[in-house]
Amino acid sequence: MKRITIKDLAEMLNISTSTVSRALKDHPDISSTVKQRVKEAAETFNYVPNDFAINFRKKIF
């Protein structure tokens, strides 16, 4: 089974990947309705953040 990505969630919800990322991080610029839609979709499709991407962003190799 394919692991779901932020890009997959964005395509399903017809929003940008950056909006999905910000919604998952509770960014104040994202409306509560969008946050709720994103979080519900992430839970429904068992979204798990990519550890490699997180470590790459933090520069932990």
pLDDT digits (tens, 9 = 90+) for 18-40: 999 999 999 999 999 999 999 99
Q: What is the pLDDT of residue 55?
A: 79
Give pTM, 2 decimals.
Answer: 0.84
60/45 Cα distance (integer angstroms): 28
User: What percent of the chain is modeled with pLDDT above 70?
Assistant: 95
Contact 6, 48 (CB under 8 A): no
Q: What is the pLDDT of residue 61?
A: 57
Look over the chain and give the mean of its residue pLDDT values, rounded to a whole number: 91
| Cβ atoms within 10 Å of 4's Cβ, excluding its own | 16
